[in-house]
Structure 1
């Protein structure tokens, strides 16, 4: 592993050359707790088309040489799914004023190098360059404390997110369907949003 990491931003059609490798990395990382996601290439490549088709999207990619070791996605909330938009509509937010930082994935061998901080900085910078956003948000899955697959050394990222200026908003909740590693079918997962208000 090199520590000569290059971080780059891509939007819209510029994402296309990286779709297959991004799908691979997402499947790899999302198998870990708390997501425990049993993903497929077909679904991931279809999911990533949302970002490819939206010129205002951004994917921040971390490269070690030519190898993709991390990626972080974001998009204006108005282009997201109904499941993501609904809590904001119900709580009186204007979707065009909300920028959604969807997911970050990072190979475990590259954690602790500050890449996660860069992912937030780059996505927030992209939102500021687009202009017009009053809120930046992301959501995370809620898992029970006694979940059988919860690692003994697992530490939630709440303190990291707080340090980045994000606050948990329990009133902003949704559910999302996916198949856990131990399941035969998709089941709904509770998701809670965190917000950062732009000055």
Structure 2
């Protein structure tokens, strides 16, 4: 590991060169609990095109030398899918006023170095520079406490998110389907949103 990891904030076509590495990183990190995601490169590369097409989206890259070891994505909620916007519409929020901090992925050996804090700061700064937002948001999957694949040493990130100023909003829930590592078919999962005022 290099002494210092560099941070690069990218938007639009500048992201194109990083897509294959980002797709691989997402598959690697999201295999772990709580996501247990059995992903594939074709789907991931197509999914990441959303961030190239939307000029207001951002991807924050963490690099050790020229190697991507982490990444964090963000996009105005109005450019997300209908199932992600609907809970906000139902509860009286304007999706155009919400900046969605989509996900952060980081290789295990680089955790605990403050990069997660930096990821939130960079995405929030990007949203403030765009202007017009009232809320930052993200969502996370809900798994049962007795899930058979839950590691004994698993610690939810709730305290970390609270420290960043975010609050859990159980009324804001959507559902998203993917195939778990221990399952043969996709199943729907509940995803609960967290909010922070800009």
TM range (shorter): over 0.9
Matches of 2:81 and 2:186, distance apart in 1: 17
Which residue does 2:174 correspond to in 1?
174
TM-score (norm 1): 0.99
Which residue does 2:5 correspond to in 1?
5
Which residue does 1:161 correspond to in 2?
161
TM-score (norm 2): 0.99
* Secondary structure of residue in 2 paired with 1:21: helix
Q: How many residues are treated as equivalent by the alignment?
A: 198
Give the alignment's Cα RMSD to 1 decimal: 0.5
Instruction: Report Cα offsets for 1:57-111 as digits up to 9, x if no partner.
Output: 0000000001000000000000001111110011111111000000000000100
Matches of 2:134 and 2:88, distance apart in 1: 13
* Secondary structure of residue in 2 paired with 1:148: coil
Using the TM superposition, give the Cα deviation of residue 47 of structure 1 relative to its aligned residue in structure 2, in angstroms.
0.3
Structure 1 residue 101 and structure 2 residue 101: aligned? yes
Using the TM superposition, give the Cα deviation of residue 19 of structure 1 relative to its aligned residue in structure 2, in angstroms.
0.2
Which residue does 1:119 correspond to in 2?
119
Within-5 A mapping of 1:126-165: 126-165=126-165
Matches of 2:2 and 2:39, distance apart in 1: 28
